[in-house]
Amino acid sequence: MKKLEIYTDGSCNPNPGVGGWGYVILEDFCAPIEVCGGMKETTNNQMELTAAVMALQALESRAEVTIYTDSQYVRKGITSWVKGWKRNGWLTASRKPVKNQELWQALEEACSNHIITWKWVKGHNGNAGNELADKLAEQGRQKAIGGNESATKIADESSALEKCLSLIGKMNKSELRVLSSSIDKRLSK
C-alpha cells in the first residue's frame, strides 16, 4: 500500500467571499503533485474542506495517508464531531443543522477507502508543506477572481519524468509488469 503525505489549505478573502483551495501530495521518489482551485462565493471553512476532499478524491488507489491541515475545524470535525452529527441526524448539539453538511459527507466518503492520520500544523509558521498549500490556495482564489474556477494541476513534468525513468531502470520484470498494468489502466480512463 502506498504511503503518502498530503498538505491541504483553504483561503477566503473576505470571508465569506472569493476563496481558494490547494493541496500537495507527496510520495517517495515522485515529484509533488500540486493542485488548486477556487470559487467566487464561498467561506474559508468550505475551502478548507474542499481542499481535503479534492486531495483524497485524486488518489487512484487505497493508500496510507497522513494529512496535514492548519484547520482545527477540519481535523476535529472529521476525527470527532462527525460521529455525533451523524448520530443526531446531521444536527449539532444545539439541534441546529450542521453547516457544510454536503462537504462533510463528501469528505467522509473520500476517507472511506484509505487509512488516514490527521495532523494539525500551525499555519504561517514555516512548515514548507503548509506554506506551499497556502500558496496554492491563494493561486486558486486569484483564478476565481479572474473568472477561472476550475482546478489547475501544477507539476514540474521534466523532474517527474527524470525521477520515474530512474526508478524504472531499477525495477525487476515483475515490478515492470505491475507498472505497465497501472499505466494501461490510467490510459483507458
Annotated active-site residue 156? The verdict is no
Question: Among 9, 19, 20, 34, which one carries the catalytic annotation?
Answer: 9
Annotated active-site residue 108? The verdict is no
Question: Among 22, 37, 48, 129, which one carries the catalytic annotation?
Answer: 48
Annotated active-site residue 28? The verdict is no
Q: 45, 62, 50, 61: which is closest to 23 by C-alpha?
A: 50
- Going from the C-alpha of 154 to that of each of 16, 87, 188, the distances in angstroms are 26, 40, 23
Query: CB neighbours of 166 closer than 8 A, spacing ≥ 6?
Result: none
Question: Among 38, 70, 77, 129, which one carries the catalytic annotation?
Answer: 70
Annotated active-site residue 9? The verdict is yes
Q: Give the number of C-alpha atoms closer than 13 A to the C-alpha of residue 172, restricted to the C-beta side.
A: 1
Annotated active-site residue 10? The verdict is yes
Count of C-beta atoms within a 10 Å radius of residue 187: 7
Question: Among 124, 126, 146, 147, which one carries the catalytic annotation?
Answer: 124
Question: Among 10, 19, 22, 140, which one carries the catalytic annotation?
Answer: 10
SS3 108: helix
Question: Among 19, 22, 77, 134, which one carries the catalytic annotation?
Answer: 134
Q: Distance between terminal CA atoms of the chain?
A: 22
Annotated active-site residue 48? The verdict is yes
Report the catalytic residues.
9-10, 48, 70, 124, 134
